[in-house]
Amino acid sequence: MARALIGGLLRGDGDAARIRVAEPRPEARDELARTFGVGVHADNAEAVRGAALWVLAVKPQVLREVCRGLATPAQRERPTVLSIAAGIRCDAIAGWLGGGLAVVRAMPNTPALLGAGATGLYANARVDAAGRAHAERIMAAVGAVCWIAEEGWMDIVTALSGSGPAYFFLLAEAMEAAAVAQGLPAETARLLAAQTCLGAGRMLREDGADASILRQRVTSPGGTTQAALQVLQRGGFAELAVQAVAAAARRAAELAATAGAAP
């Protein structure tokens, strides 16, 4: 995800000279410097020196250790901290960094790797307008962003857009298999399923109409689409979606409670 963010920024109006990266592996540091022309460091404290925004793009299980190692410069520099570590709440991050810091949490999803991500953002009360704008600019480099007003909603964002690509892939997988079972060649089925999902997603994003309206537009009374939708509805498709998102949100909350234990 860190590579995606760097690449997205540089494809826009980002300046490689203003981006510094801390990476513990020498071969990865060399590759980042060659590919992007950014400054690379083995030491986290060197990378963050003088920076107004810190991006914590590490796995949740190592975030506590990383933050505690940066507590002294964090208290000296007082940066805005942007974390993309899933499940770790703002209070925990601020506490591990010594307390009293501006923290923004981001929940991106894997399409961000293609510049087509969806990211939910939450800022604690210490984040000012400039900090919000800076964090939004970083995450907008890899897709659409939206701010949420309550940190607890981040579990729902995780369940919807964070886990959502997997629901989408499961649907596409099922559509392909169903078409193959009806006699269509597998390669053709995959192409048509992928392009249909891509086109439908673009319509949903760009048309402006609700999903229910778009569904009605493509559903002719007595036609093929209506026949298919009736089967999905009888099978409880909508209720299954509700249950799936609720289950993912519950699990996100459980993981957050475990990962973001008291500082």
* CATH code, 222: 1.10.3730.10
Q: Same domain, yes or no, for 16 and 114?
A: yes
Of 86, 119, 154, which marks where a domain is finished? 154
Q: Same domain, yes or no, for 9 and 67?
A: yes
Q: How many domains, in total, are found in the chain?
A: 2
What global pTM score does this model have?
A: 0.88
* CATH code, 9: 3.40.50.720
pLDDT in single tens digits along all 263 residues of the chain:
899 999 999 998 889 999 999 999 999 999 999 999 999 999 999 999 999 999 999 988 899 999 999 999 999 999 999 999 988 999 999 999 999 999 999 999 999 989 999 999 999 999 999 999 999 999 999 999 999 999 999 999 999 999 999 999 999 999 999 999 999 999 999 999 999 999 999 999 999 999 999 999 999 999 999 999 999 999 999 999 999 999 999 998 888 888 755 44
Q: Same domain, yes or no, for 85 and 129?
A: yes
Q: Same domain, yes or no, for 207 and 185?
A: yes
Q: Same domain, yes or no, for 85 and 116?
A: yes
Does 33 map to a domain? Answer: yes
Q: Same domain, yes or no, for 148 and 218?
A: no
Q: What is the DSSP letter of 185?
A: -
Amino acid, single-letter form, for residue 248: A
Using a CB cutoff of 8 Å and minimum separation of 24, what contacts does 238-244 make?
A: 241/167, 244/167
Give me the sign of the Cα torsion angle 234, 239, 241, 244.
negative
Domain that holds residue 173: 164-253
Of 136, 154, 172, which marks where a domain is finished? 154
Q: Same domain, yes or no, for 196 and 148?
A: no
